[in-house]
Amino acid sequence: MFLALRDLRAARGRFLLITLVVTLVALLVSFLSGLTAGLAHQNISAVQGISADYLVFADSGRDPSFDASALTEQQVEAWRVAARSVEPIGIGRAEAVRSGDEAAPARVALFGAQESIFGNRAATEPGSVVLSEGAAQALHVAAGDTVSVNERAFTVAAVRGDDWYSHTPVVWTTVADWRSLTPRGGAATVLAVSGVSDAAAADAAAHTTTASVSGSLDALGSYRAENGSLTLMTALLFAISALVIGAFFTVWTIQRTPDIATLKALGATSGSLVRDTLAQAAVVLFAGAAAGLGITVLAATFVVDDVPLALTPATTVLPAAALIVLGLLGAAFALRFLFTTDPLAALGAAR
């Protein structure tokens, strides 16, 4: 570690440059991870809040889709026979505006469901709605106000939860109100079922298709496209960071070949040299990752209202730790020739 610190002080410019590179990569990775999580939250958080074993979609001959699913009363009744608990959920889109407000209507996701599925978020009385925080903010209303949904007046019973569906804030109604607001939606969009012994047989009898709540997320096309693209970009950033850091330490180690040869000739073991160089890399990586995270957190305070960033340990600490580990692996790979370097040959080559 003594030699590592001496090198850091002697070549401050070079190590500041690679630290800056690590900082930029850490900033990109943490910001992109937070953006991925934030976009996912605004896409699927309402679906993730469903309390059930399975979601049942209408079988259209293709992959399940929330937009294409429309269940009939016969299909709902067929599932009531097959499962212990069957709750219809209506999902649609609507335009809402504060009653008496001449502003342009806001687009909202309309969920019709029973209270047992979404907890205290679902509306319990006909003619009332429960708004998510995003919907209340978009409509500038609070509990007790009146809103117009598809030109029908509803009383705001409560404002609860930060739930979104396909990047639109959620408004909850009763199932009966949802059906009247979306007459072409069928009896329900999906069914939340629990306590079913043979889902395959029930699907065959009702002409439906079943998926777990987590597996149903792919039924949202926007989520599948966004999440796949952003996850791929994050993975590529990790790979690039390992290559960049590995290349830097490869060049740096080659430039130090005469010094390494001298140390080996004086009795230094290859293991001690590797540990010393990896300690050097760890200092650079920790400093760069910490600076990148700090900039991300600082930037998030300024853009939180405009960019859906979700800063959690999973989107900040975990990516930084992965970046450090990958950087150390890249540095270790660059040092593989230390075990085969002949000190006498290296000293002769230096002359």
b or e along 319-330 (b: 16 or more beta carbons within 10 Å of the residue's beta carbon)?
Answer: bbebbbebbbeb
Q: What is the pLDDT of residue 130?
A: 93
**Is the pLDDT reported for residue 2 higher than 70?**
no
**Is the pLDDT reported for residue 182 higher than 80?**
yes
Q: What is the pLDDT of residue 171?
A: 94
Q: Please count the other Cβ atoms lying within 10 Å of the Cβ belonging to residue 351.
A: 5
Is the CB of residue 134 less than 8 Å from the CB of residue 166? no
Instruction: Tokens for 6, please give them.
Output: 């001496």
Q: What is the pLDDT of residue 328?
A: 83
**Model confidence at 96, in pLDDT bands (50, 70, 90)?**
very high
In single-letter form, the type of residue at position 77 comes to E
Q: Which residue has the higher pLDDT, 9 or 187?
A: 187
Instruction: Tokens for 311, please give them.
Output: 């800063």
Percent of the chain with pLDDT strictly greater than 90: 36
What is the 3-state secondary structure of the chain? CHHHHHHHHHCHHHHHHHHHHHHHHHHHHHHHHHHHHHHHHHHHHHHHCCCCCEEEEECCCCCCCCCCCCECHHHHHHHHHHEEEEEEEEEEEEEEEECCCCCCCEEEEEEECCHHHHHHHCCCCCCEEEECHHHHHHHCCCCCCEEEECCEEEEEEEECCCCEECCEEEEEECHHHHHHHCHHHCCECEEEEEEECCHHHHHHHHCEEEEECCHHHHHCHHHHHHHHHHHHHHHHHHHHHHHHHHHHHHHHHHHCHHHHHHHHHCCCCHHHHHHHHHHHHHHHHHHHHHHHHHHHHHHHHHHCCCCCCCCCCCCCHHHHHHHHHHHHHHHHHHCHHHHCCCHHHHHHHHC
Q: Which residue has the higher pLDDT, 246 or 321?
A: 321
What does the mean pLDDT of the chain come to? 84
**Roughly what angle, to the nearest 10 degrees, separates helices 317-334 and 270-303?**
150
Instruction: Tokens for 52, please give them.
Output: 């059930």
Q: What is the pLDDT of residue 222?
A: 80
Q: What is the pLDDT of residues 102-144, one digit of tens each?
A: 788 999 999 998 877 887 777 778 899 999 999 999 999 999 9
Q: What is the pLDDT of residues 146-159, one digit of tens each?
A: 999 988 999 999 99
**Model confidence at 239, in pLDDT bands (50, 70, 90)?**
confident
**Is the pLDDT reported for residue 331 higher than 90?**
no
Q: What is the pLDDT of residue 228?
A: 82
Predicted model pTM: 0.80
**Is the pLDDT reported for residue 338 higher than 70?**
no
**Model confidence at 1, in pLDDT bands (50, 70, 90)?**
low
Contacts of 159 (CB under 8 A, 6+ apart): 130, 131, 132, 133, 136, 142, 143
Q: What is the pLDDT of residue 194?
A: 92
**Model confidence at 350, in pLDDT bands (50, 70, 90)?**
very low
Q: Which residue has the higher pLDDT, 270 or 325?
A: 325
Q: Which residue has the higher pLDDT, 274 or 297?
A: 297
Mean pLDDT of the 4-28 span: 76
How far, in Å, are 13, 190, 246 from residue 19 at the CA level? 10, 51, 13
Of 269-283, 288-302, 327-341, the range with the highest mean pLDDT is: 288-302
Pick from 215, 210, 188, 219: nearest CA to 82: 210
**Model confidence at 348, in pLDDT bands (50, 70, 90)?**
low
Is the CB of residue 110 less than 8 Å from the CB of residue 178? yes
Q: What is the pLDDT of residues 224-234, one digit of tens each?
A: 888 888 888 88
**Is the pLDDT reported for residue 310 higher than 60?**
yes
Contacts of 291 (CB under 8 A, 6+ apart): 19, 23, 26
Mean pLDDT of the 256-263 span: 69
Contacts of 133 (CB under 8 A, 6+ apart): 159, 160, 161, 162, 169
How far, in Å, are 90, 113, 123, 210, 296 from residue 85 at the CA level? 16, 14, 19, 15, 45
With the CA atoms of 309, 310, 314 and 318 taken in that order, what torsion angle do they form, in degrees rounded to the nearest 10?
A: 30
Instruction: Tokens for 191, please give them.
Output: 């069914």
**Model confidence at 164, in pLDDT bands (50, 70, 90)?**
very high
Q: What is the pLDDT of residues 189-232, one digit of tens each?
A: 999 999 998 899 999 999 999 999 988 998 887 888 888 888 88
* Mode of pairing for the β-strands spanning 106-112 and 168-173: parallel
Instruction: Tokens for 288, please give them.
Output: 């760069």
